[in-house]
Amino acid sequence: MISVVIIGASTGGPSALSTILSRFPADFPASIIVVQHIMENFSGSLAERLEKKCTLSVKEGEDEDQLKRGYVYIAPTKKHLVFKNTLIKLDDGPPSNYFKPSIDVTMESAARFFGKNVMGVVLTGAGSDGVKGLKAIKDAKGITIAQDEQSSVLYHMPKNAFESGNVDYVLPLDDIADKIKALVYKK
């Protein structure tokens, strides 16, 4: 059963995240981690904006946060968000793919700790951050999703993910939340 959903995004991400996260019920039975490439010191305000549009609880991830179902944790700027069992750890390691936080770093950590119980989603954005992370999730027998070209502001990240051969579903933005819910609620 999927217990953790990792969503990575870059250019166009805040709007895409709002579209997806606003469609989940407050009692959603998984934790959601968001890694958004964003300017320094804006991850907290992104969490506040999403909190107003969602029934889920949304917060900026903090070191030692215990993952809870129905919560969305936004990776803070200038830190990698990784896991130690069901605890969030903030890591000050070097950038990966030029990014900190890095989608790859978070997804690879999630794959190690949650294995087949993790889902990775790569949304609109430039570059290839998320490709290695989705591979790690696939290798761990988790589920992977990428946004389609037509609904992406920039299709580089989802395209690179798709071309890697590690994407289970390529979907338009408006269908991603329903697919996530269907897969999480699947027994």
pLDDT at residue 124, rounded to an integer: 97
Catalytic residue check, 37 = yes
Residue-wise pLDDT for 19-59, tens only, equals 999 999 999 999 999 999 987 778 889 999 999 999 999 99
Total domain count, the chain: 1
Q: Which of 125, 144, 180, 120 is nearest to 15 (CA)?
A: 125
Q: What percent of the chain has pLDDT over 70?
A: 99
Range of the domain at 163: 4-185
Q: Which of 37, 65, 102, 152 is catalytic?
A: 37
pLDDT at residue 97, rounded to an integer: 84
Catalytic residue check, 10 = yes
Query: Which helix (H) or strand (E) element contains residue 174?
Result: helix 173-185
pLDDT at residue 178, rounded to an integer: 98
Among 1-5, 38-42, 54-58, 162-166, the least confident range: 38-42
Q: Which of 65, 104, 129, 148 is catalytic?
A: 129
CB 75 within 8 A of CB 33: yes
Residue-wise pLDDT for 86-135, tens only, equals 999 999 999 998 899 999 999 999 999 999 999 999 999 999 999 999 99
pLDDT at residue 164, rounded to an integer: 97
pLDDT at residue 44, rounded to an integer: 87
pLDDT at residue 19, rounded to an integer: 97
Which residues have a Cβ under 8 Å from the Cβ of 138 and sit 6 or more positions away?
Answer: 144, 166, 168
CATH number where 101 lies: 3.40.50.180
pTM above 0.95, yes or no: yes
Residue 187 has pLDDT above 70, yes or no: no
Which residues have a Cβ under 8 Å from the Cβ of 165 and sit 6 or more positions away?
Answer: none
